[in-house]
Structure 1
């Protein structure tokens, strides 16, 4: 168990170091290369944690807060590395890796006991719908995280190429979020007897969906620039509230993050 704690803090340190190198190294190519290497090593370390949790629990780590953040960070960094290689979005590296650093810090502050503890699943979570519902949500959240990182850069230094990348990321995330909501509704009907209960998580997921739907609609109408990018950032803030706010401020049927 001590090894898992060490691995966790190593991953946190790698992500923090990568973020710092990206921010400092915008005009120093050598430091940017170091940042990319730290990001890749951090991803591998995160993956080791993810595999270890899978082995410990005997299932994919998708249930409580620690497991969700572990998977969320893993997919976000993977998508960023692919984007850095294919779309040349290295300028967003500092912000994206800072997001992942803060996600890992949230584990330290809000759920430290979950790192080394695995508890039996609640009856409602013992469903094949769990995997597809949560994985599609994670893909959506990761897409929105990358889009927000690029959008923050766009607000300060507009680049037409990144505008297209942001749009594609939001569109992909929106499709994944839509699928996640539909799958969650099917699962809810089986678990609780109703497709929609206006639970806080459902409500805020719907609000987030509407924000991104408005952005995509306005984008089709030719909307560009600072206001559009501000909406993308605002959408991601809602994504974070949908997870952290609902689980730690608002109680409801979806408040599983506190579970060990």
Structure 2
């Protein structure tokens, strides 16, 4: 392990936690320093985790894409980076309340696993692996943020029906804004999800001699792609917006989560190496 790995992992985890706490403090109190602090600590956390991944890559002589430990830390980084992009662009500190717990859970789970660097199995020694995983990082991270925004929508929608609302209610983004953000985030992620399928098929052909084998991971990746294609179609042509869109964003991310982790942990197939 590179000497920078452990301290940068721990500091990134701490900064994400502080960012979550400051996001909650801003929502409760409305204090602008807490809002700015949440963004600064999130930015620092992403920067430190980037350093962590760089150190591991230099030590391993390859990108950190080989096993469940590396998969979890790269997923946490991708999700935090997508959240950071939304925070900078949309000024929505409340989004951290629904997304950062997932980042912390991924890193917490990773901390329980063996972090030793191991040689790549032959099937993973392909340049297509980099493109395949890079596309997945962007897609899954953005879908996680969309799911978090969908959850915020459901919370605000539920509160609006009550005769009295808590004082922090008005610091949640409006339903119209959340609906637009959910759609734009999913629309951004979808081409990368398609790229995951395409690069995976090319990689499979070079590694195993066939483009498609109906492996559980392949099947669920296709199901996930069809789900989000259906979402985009419904959004454009049947005007499924608002509450329906928010529910689909949340359900869609649960499908992503099963495709990403559940398949590897519960089903056997060509991708089972990632659970090691």
* TM-score scaled by length of structure 2: 0.87
Equivalent residue, structure 1, for 2:25: 24
Which sections of structure 1, spanning at least 5 residues, go unmatched? none
Mapped contact 2:46–2:81 kept (Cα < 8 A): yes
Structure number with bigger Rg: 2
More off after superposition, 237-246 vs 124-133: 237-246
- 1:150-208 CA distance string (max 9 Å, x none): 11111122521221221111112111111110110111111112211111111111121
Mapped contact 2:234–2:240 kept (Cα < 8 A): yes
Give the drift of 1:252: 1.0
Mapped contact 1:7–1:45 kept (Cα < 8 A): yes
Distance 1:211 1:228 in 2: 12
Equivalent residue, structure 2, for 1:8: 9
More off after superposition, 80-89 vs 220-229: 80-89
* TM-score scaled by length of structure 1: 0.92
Mapped contact 1:177–1:209 kept (Cα < 8 A): yes
Mapped contact 1:19–1:95 kept (Cα < 8 A): no
State whether structure 2 residue 174 is matched by structure 1 residue 174. no
Mapped contact 2:22–2:38 kept (Cα < 8 A): yes
Mapped contact 1:18–1:38 kept (Cα < 8 A): yes
Mapped contact 2:20–2:100 kept (Cα < 8 A): yes
Equivalent residue, structure 1, for 2:166: none
Equivalent residue, structure 1, for 2:235: 219
State whether structure 2 residue 55 is matched by structure 1 residue 55. no
Give the drift of 1:3: 5.2
Distance 2:146 2:275 in 1: 28
Give the drift of 1:79: 2.4
SS in 2 for 1:254: helix
Distance 2:4 2:198 in 1: 39
- 1:39-70 CA distance string (max 9 Å, x none): 11211221111111111111111221222222
SS in 1 for 2:267: coil
Please identify runs of 4+ aligned residues in structure 1 that moved more than 3 A: none
Give the drift of 1:23: 2.0
Mapped contact 1:145–1:236 kept (Cα < 8 A): yes
Distance 1:3 1:136 in 2: 26
Equivalent residue, structure 1, for 2:250: 233
Mapped contact 2:12–2:49 kept (Cα < 8 A): yes
Give the drift of 1:93: 1.5
Report how many residues are paired.
Answer: 255
